Amino acid sequence: MSSGDIENLLNTVDDALYTYVLSLLLVAVGLYFTFRTGAVQLRHFRTMLATITRSRGHADGGISSFQAFAVGMAARVGIGNVAGVALAVVAGGPGALFWMWLVALIGMATSFVESTLAQVFKERGRAFTYRGGPAYYIRNGLGSLLWGRVFAVLCIISVGVTVVMVQTNALAGVINATVPSVAPWEVGCALVLITTPVVLGGLKTVARVTELVAPLMALAYVLMTLVVIALNITAVPGVLVDVVKGAFGLEEALFGLSGGMVAAVLNGVRRGLFSNEAGLGTVPNAAGTATTSHPVRQGLVQSFGVFVDTILVCTATGMLILLARDTYQPGQEGVAGAVLTQAAVAEHLGGWTTWPMVVLIFVLVFSTLLGCFSYSQVNVDFLGGEKRAEQAFGLLLSAAAFAGTVLSLPIVWALTDIALGLLGLINLVAIILLAPWALGALRDFDEQLRAGKEPVFKGHGNPYLPGSTVDGVWED
């Protein structure tokens, strides 16, 4: 079998897994948790904001709730927010953006549950830190060390190596297409030089860097969009009408490449789900490292990350493109991905924006690499890795970042998608089975709020939980 045949087979499996099995399952689980939690993502939205604004610096020497949120945001908000949304509105028309909004609102409930479980079943790490995530709640909650190890290995390989390679591969392609004088290997060297010192410092260093980079990056991108919207304010109502009409296939001119409402739904749902990562089991690896007074607080914080990723950042990309009437036409071929987003920005603000966009995309990928390191490092620790193993993995990630810029990776792209899909399937089964723990923690949190108390979690002798949590974490 030739490499072309292997690539076609992997792409067929990838499309079937993502478009039908995993997308439908993620939506179903999101609806289930929205119902079971009483729409926690809506009724506790103000609590999310309050928790984020007051959580900086409160970590007792460990990783704060805000830092864990920033690490999750760093991994979520990447080149997919620039290129993935562009691909969605080309293939599915403006209506794809509507379905991205919808799945984000649903996915916030799933993200809440998995991140709450990461806190409930976390363990103590080194230097006042914690470790938690799917591998930990599979072992400590379901009692399955084997499946915990399977998840950990898959996460390290997919997130820590192949996702890094495909991210930097896309970055090198974008930069080389925009500025041909910059060779891909030069992009790789720059990434290694700025990434290696950070990841060798461990999770605390990564958390400190992402605490600054991730929020500023997202804010700068959204502010740029607000400027564009202000310059095109009279066209905004028409664009929003197009989004709604395209979502329900009400106007043929708004169809994407595949045509009709089905194209809008499939492209919007798929791109939305895998941009915000709700349910895939990646973000809980960051959520479980936070020092917080109650698991639900971190669940709410990470749920808010879905809102920021899709409702704010992905919408920003969508509006940049849809308002660029000369650059974007539904169903157009040729120009897509990050190049389309760059062209849309240039149409609005001028050709001088080329280099600022290149810098922005570079920072997006850099922050994603730090998020990938954090996710993977938690699983290296789960498998018994010590400080030297962490540093060795940091060097491996830097090497993968360089390799991604100079290699052609069509098969790796497909393998990465399949591996992430398998992570999602394992994680969804685990969080459904462990739902009573997350729902019990939420009831405990709500009852303390109703009593006028500051919620503090007790993992032993808690009447709302099915049992006791790990020793040495939630006693005090």
Q: What is the pLDDT of residues 116-152, one digit of tens each?
A: 999 999 888 765 578 888 999 999 999 999 999 999 9
Average pLDDT estimate for 346-355? 75
Name which of 464, 390, 404 is nearest 175 in CA terms.
Answer: 404
- The pLDDT of residue 211: 66
- The pLDDT of residue 281: 87
Q: In this structure, are residues 255 and 106 in contact, taking their beta carbons and an 8 Å threshold?
A: no
- The pLDDT of residue 416: 74
- The pLDDT of residue 57: 52
Residue 143 burial (10 A CB sphere; 0-12, 13-18, 19+): exposed
- The pLDDT of residue 280: 84
DSSP label of 290: E
Secondary element (H or E) of residue 210? helix 203-231
**Cα 221 to Cα 473: distance, rounded to the nearest angstrom:** 38
Average pLDDT estimate for 76-104? 76
- 114 falls in which pLDDT band (50, 70, 90)? very high
Tokens 């080329």 sit on residue: 354
Give me the residue spans of the domains in the chain.
14-447
More confident residue, 156 or 353: 156
- The pLDDT of residue 330: 63
Q: In this structure, are residues 475 and 125 in contact, taking their beta carbons and an 8 Å threshold?
A: no
Using one digit for the tens of pLDDT, what is the confidence trace for 419-464?
Answer: 788 888 899 999 999 999 999 999 999 999 898 888 888 888 889 9
Q: In this structure, are residues 95 and 261 in contact, taking their beta carbons and an 8 Å threshold?
A: yes
- The pLDDT of residue 123: 86
Q: In this structure, are residues 128 and 60 in contact, taking their beta carbons and an 8 Å threshold?
A: yes
More confident residue, 334 or 460: 460
Average pLDDT estimate for 219-232? 82
**Cα 299 to Cα 117: distance, rounded to the nearest angstrom:** 8
DSSP label of 281: S
More confident residue, 223 or 295: 295
**Cα 20 to Cα 80: distance, rounded to the nearest angstrom:** 20
- The pLDDT of residue 254: 56
Average pLDDT estimate for 217-239? 82
Q: Which CATH number fits domain 14-447: 3.40.50, 1.20.1530, 1.20.1740, 1.10.3470?
A: 1.20.1740
- Give yes or no for residue 255 having a pLDDT over 70: no
3-class SS string, 243-300: HHHHHCCCCHHHCCCCCHHHHHHHHHHHHHHHHHCCCCCCCHHHHCCEECCCHHHHHH
Using one digit for the tens of pLDDT, what is the confidence trace for 161-208?
Answer: 888 887 788 777 777 777 777 788 888 888 788 877 777 666 666 766
- The pLDDT of residue 300: 92
Secondary element (H or E) of residue 123? strand 123-124
- The pLDDT of residue 242: 80
Least confident window among 57-61, 99-103, 272-276: 57-61
Highest mean pLDDT among 43-52, 186-195, 335-344, 467-476: 43-52
Non-local (6+) Cβ contacts of 146 within 8 A are none
Phi-psi region for residue 66, left (φ > 0), alpha (ψ -120 to 50) or beta?
Answer: alpha
- The pLDDT of residue 29: 92
Name which of 432, 417, 376 is nearest 22 in CA terms.
Answer: 417
CA 148 to chain centre: 21
**Cα 35 to Cα 213: distance, rounded to the nearest angstrom:** 35
More confident residue, 213 or 323: 323
Averaged pLDDT of the chain:
79
**Cα 157 to Cα 147: distance, rounded to the nearest angstrom:** 15
Q: In this structure, are residues 71 and 286 in contact, taking their beta carbons and an 8 Å threshold?
A: yes
Buried/exposed 80-95: b ≥16 CB within 10 Å, e otherwise? bbbbbbbbbbbbbbbb
- 3 falls in which pLDDT band (50, 70, 90)? low
Q: Which two tokens stand for residue 365?
A: 């990928």
CB atoms within 10 A of CB 309: 29
**pTM of the entire structure?**
0.86
- The pLDDT of residue 404: 78
**Cα 25 to Cα 115: distance, rounded to the nearest angstrom:** 18
- The pLDDT of residue 62: 62
Angle among Cα 243, 244, 247 to the nearest 5 degrees reads 85
Q: In this structure, are residues 100 and 268 in contact, taking their beta carbons and an 8 Å threshold?
A: yes
Angle subtended by helix axes 315-322 and 236-247, to nearest 10: 110
